[in-house]
Structures are given as C-alpha cells and as structure tokens.
Structure 1
Amino acid sequence: MKPVFQPGRNIAMKVPAHEYERTLAFYRETLALKDLTPVDAEGAQTPRFDFGGKVLWLDRVPGISQAELWLEVVTDDLEHAADFLQNHDCVRRNEIEPLPDGFRAFWISSPTNIIHLVSESCTESPPVQ
C-alpha cells in the first residue's frame, strides 16, 4: 500500500547573503505579508511570514549564488514512506541540513533537485533554517 503524502505547512527560501536584506524588505515592506517571527524569542530568529496558510521562512545562506526553495511534505507512516521513496529512486539528502534530535523526518530531493523535508503528519515541524 502506498503511504499518504500531503503538503506540509513550511516553505523555506534559502537566500544568498548579498540579496538577503532586499528580499526581506520585499516580503516585509513591499508585499507587507503578515510577519510570524516571534518577537519575544532570544537570539537571532529566522524571519517567517504567512503565505496563504503556509509559513514562508527566509534563511540567509552565505556561499550560495541563487535562491532555493525547500518544501515540506508530511506522511502518515515515515518508515513506509522512506522505503517507498527509495524504491522510486528518490535521493536521500540527510547531509543537507541537520535536524533536531528526536525529530522524525528526513530530507530528499526531487528529480529537479528541489529539497523536501519529509516528516510525520502528527509531528510539529521544526524551524527550517
């Protein structure tokens, strides 16, 4: 039986450092999207915005030359999903970014190299950084 996959709630935009401030101003000021960044949290926070019921995270990434979009997919059975995706030649990319200890998820890339976080539907998503 095929595992169930659904879109997750998170979209991460990985932005080159040299374009970051202009990109942040575009979403914050030009489009004036609702800012979801916690105001009371200590330390640096990744800016995030309401994007039609999804959460758009803007991550500054030194050393990249162009922006990337990373998407979240949730599933009802993580182990079955991992086997299914492997059998369909999906490339695991767990080296791409560490996940928090105990967070049940893994990274894959699509045939066009779009990164996807595959997580359990009952699990709260971590900040994608």
Structure 2
Amino acid sequence: MSQQPQHPLTAAQLDELKALLLKRREELQLEMQQNRENLTPPTSDEGAMVQRNVAREVDQTLTDLDANDLARIERALKAMADGSYGQCGECGCDIPFERLKIEPQTEHCVACKGRWEAAAAKA
C-alpha cells in the first residue's frame, strides 16, 4: 500500500487558501478589464492630453503588475492541484500557513524572499 506524503497544510487550510486565491484572481481580472478600458486612445479633441497620456502609462503599468500577480495565482492553483503548494520554490521548505494567508500566491518562504529582495536592492 503506497503512502500519500503528509502535507503540512490541512484540507480546511487548503480550502481557505484556494478561496482567497480565487477571490483575488477575480478582483485582478476586474481591475485589468478596467485598466484596459482606460487604455483606449483619447480622441484628438480631448483636453489635457499630457495628463491623459500619463494616466494611460499608469494604467498600463498596473495592468502589467496585475498580469504578473495573476500568473502567480495560476501557478499557485496548479501547485494545489499537483500537491506541491506551500513549498518554497527556492529551498523547498514548507511555507507557514500564516504567511500563505497573507499572500496565498507566494512562491517563497520569508528567508528566501528576503534574500531575493536584498539582492534586487543591490542591483
């Protein structure tokens, strides 16, 4: 009889985290839709063209950030399906439930994320 590997998260915790991921995915999709609508080119007769162009750049940046976050959510949902969710992508340790509740799409433990951020700050 083969044994299933013990997962540090309970079924109830996984359900809670999945609900958080699905809710955030829906929020991001709505935000991205709104940002895309804001990206439509202004007509030539609109005033404050420079201000509109700056706003469009901000909307594009937000859409790009949302797309990155959405991709992380999709990877987290896939990891839930294959049983690898909640493990650090760098060191392989179990990510605590408390951290996952704060950022359920995280792919790294606090220690690895801290090292990554410190390295990025130096670059």
Greater share of strand residues, 1 or 2? 1
Task: State the TM bucket, normalised to the shorter chain.
Answer: under 0.3
Structure showing the higher helix proportion among its residues = 2
Higher relative contact order (CA 8 A, sep 6+): 1
Bigger Rg over Cα:
2
TM-score by length of 1: 0.24
TM-score (structure 2 length as normaliser): 0.25
